[in-house]
Amino acid sequence: MEHLLINPGFPLLSTLIFLPLAGAFLLLPFKNDDTCRYISLGVTALVALISLLLIAGFDTTTARFQFAETRPWIETLNINYTIGVDGISLLLVVMTTLIMPFCVLASWSYIKVRVKPFMICLLVMETAMVGVFVALDFVLFYILWEAMLIPMYLLIGIWGGPRRIYASVKFFLYTLGGSILLLVAIIWLAKTNNFSFFIPDMMWQDYGFRAQILVFIAFFLAFAIKVPMFPFHTWLPAAHVEAPTAGSVILASILLKMGTYGFLRFALPIVPDATVALMPYVLWLSIAGIIYGGFTALAQQDMKKLIAYSSVGHMGFVTLGIFVLNKQGIEGAILQMINHGITTGALFLCVGMIYERTHSRELSVSAGVGKYMPVFVTFLAFFSLSSLGFPGTNSFVGEFMILAGTFKYDGVMHGNFPYLALAAIPGAVLAAAYMLRLLQKVVWGGTNNPDQSYLADLNWREIVTLAPFLLFVFWIGLGAQPFIDYMDTSVTVLLDNFNAHRAQAIALAGELLP
């Protein structure tokens, strides 16, 4: 168990996983909608507070899995309940727990019917999401990864918009179809490793090149659909548009990160040779996603669709950062995962707030609300600037690091001409174009604005919901170093191992490997 750092005492991570589930059971006997809201808010807030202990107790000098717990689970198959966090997953876990109370707040008046089942779905989602990020046993990971589909399906399918049935079924089928081969790959990997499902045991092994390629394809299908990478993104706009606000926020902020987290946690360490061999294709798909997402967002009339397509572009940056395989790129990618979670989550909250007032997501219906909702458009302006990567906001730091990594990659791979970076940069320009278009329309509109005088500005609950997001936009934007420190050791060790494995593989196989 050299990979695990077991902190004695309180099982912090298990608490984070099971407290929301316990909360869901706690809700069962209550009939009153408001009681359910307060209980859910209390539970999610408590979980968020407890998760801060992770940050406080995290040791940034080691790449081992901390706060680890391991218990036998299904002994006949050697499956254990093993969990732990390292620098890659820590921030994602904390982001998940911190965003959940705001999802509850955002649903406070948005969800009017069947409040209790809605809150139960949210809490079960939280259990599964935290679990996915901390699972160190591949079966545990897969179970939570799949189990998450059920509450998310119900969130979209029951409380969603008019085309919710189409969207929810598409979401479910896409994600499930993609991850079926992941299961086969997991079993194959375990079989070659003496039936150990412990994830670190599978890393840096010698599987043979052909097997690695097959496993990579299985991984890629599962994770690329979740990210979603172009051309596997078509479920995303549908799901985003139809989901209730909290569902959109969870999708954008947390679920999409699971795909990129999967690439970092599994693809790189388990099948490094295949990663290198297929890297150029993944990179160009990322570029395609950035450009495609940007242009499509530019043409949207539906605000949620616009942000959904912008997600495709932003997540393209993240996969770009991961697969350039250097420190700047990967650290930038992890940071950008957090940034996207904050910024896009906040933008979906904003759209949800205006939807509650106008009952439309059409850009033209919301044109020119700036005059009547000054507080709202202030928030919207900052989040839009953050989304387009304006200096001083969080996304600037992330995108900058990713582009720096890309330039470095170009220096290694393409001589000194930065093909890849040059191809990615128009994405940043496009982001400015579509976000400013959104902002301009919503704040000022044109000469033929609809009558917006009936609109009330944000109430206290809504301001409280948005303010923390704004805090993080500037905190990461102006002082990103503490955040990077948390992941630095883990990323360095990951890359060191990666390069060592590559050197060894090349020495062994000579010219055979790419």
CB crowding 185-209: b at 16 or more within 10 Å, else e: bbeebbebbeebbbbbbbbebebeb
Q: Which stretch binds another protein (CB under 8 A): 71-79, 93-101, 311-319, 320-328?
A: 71-79
**Rounded to the nearest whole angstrom, what is the least distance from the CB of residue 138 to another protein in the complex?**
11
**Rounded to the nearest whole angstrom, what is the least distance from the CB of residue 146 to another protein in the complex?**
5
Can you tell me which of 22, 49, 52, 77 binds another protein, judged by CB under 8 A? 77
By CB under 8 A, the count of residues binding another protein is 35
Is residue 495 involved in binding another protein (CB under 8 A)? no
Can you tell me which of 53, 143, 213, 277 binds another protein, judged by CB under 8 A? 143
Is residue 181 involved in binding another protein (CB under 8 A)? yes
Q: What is the spatial distance between Cα 233 and Cα 351, in angstroms, rounded to a whole number?
A: 21
Can you tell me which of 122, 190, 238, 385 binds another protein, judged by CB under 8 A? 190
Residue 73 host element (H or E):
strand 66-74
Q: What is the spatial distance between Cα 185 and Cα 215, in angstroms, rounded to a whole number?
A: 6
The CA-atom distances, in angstroms, between 227 and each of 218, 223, 257, 486 are 15, 6, 7, 23
Can you tell me which of 53, 183, 288, 493 binds another protein, judged by CB under 8 A? 183
Can you tell me which of 58, 65, 67, 172 binds another protein, judged by CB under 8 A? 172
**2 or 75, CB closer to another protein?**
75
Q: What is the spatial distance between Cα 431 and Cα 184, in angstroms, rounded to a whole number?
A: 38
Is residue 73 involved in binding another protein (CB under 8 A)? yes
CB 142, CB 186: distance < 8 Å: yes
Q: What is the spatial distance between Cα 52 and Cα 57, in angstroms, rounded to a whole number?
A: 9
**157 or 237, CB closer to another protein?**
157
Is residue 302 involved in binding another protein (CB under 8 A)? no
CB 400, CB 341: distance < 8 Å: no
Ramachandran assignment for 491, one of left (phi > 0), alpha (psi -120 to 50 degrees), beta (any other)? alpha
Is 445 in a helix, a strand, or coil?
coil
Can you tell me which of 22, 49, 55, 74 binds another protein, judged by CB under 8 A? 74
**Rounded to the nearest whole angstrom, what is the least distance from the CB of residue 301 to another protein in the complex?**
26
Can you tell me which of 33, 146, 201, 302 binds another protein, judged by CB under 8 A? 146
Please give the DSSP secondary-structure letter assigned to residue 264.
I
**152 or 271, CB closer to another protein?**
152
Is residue 147 involved in binding another protein (CB under 8 A)? yes
- Closest by Cα among 445, 435, 330, 351 to 389: 435
Residue numbers of the site for another protein (CB under 8 A)? 73-77, 117, 139, 142-144, 146-147, 149-150, 153-154, 157-158, 164-165, 168-169, 172-173, 176-177, 180-181, 183-184, 187-188, 190-191, 195
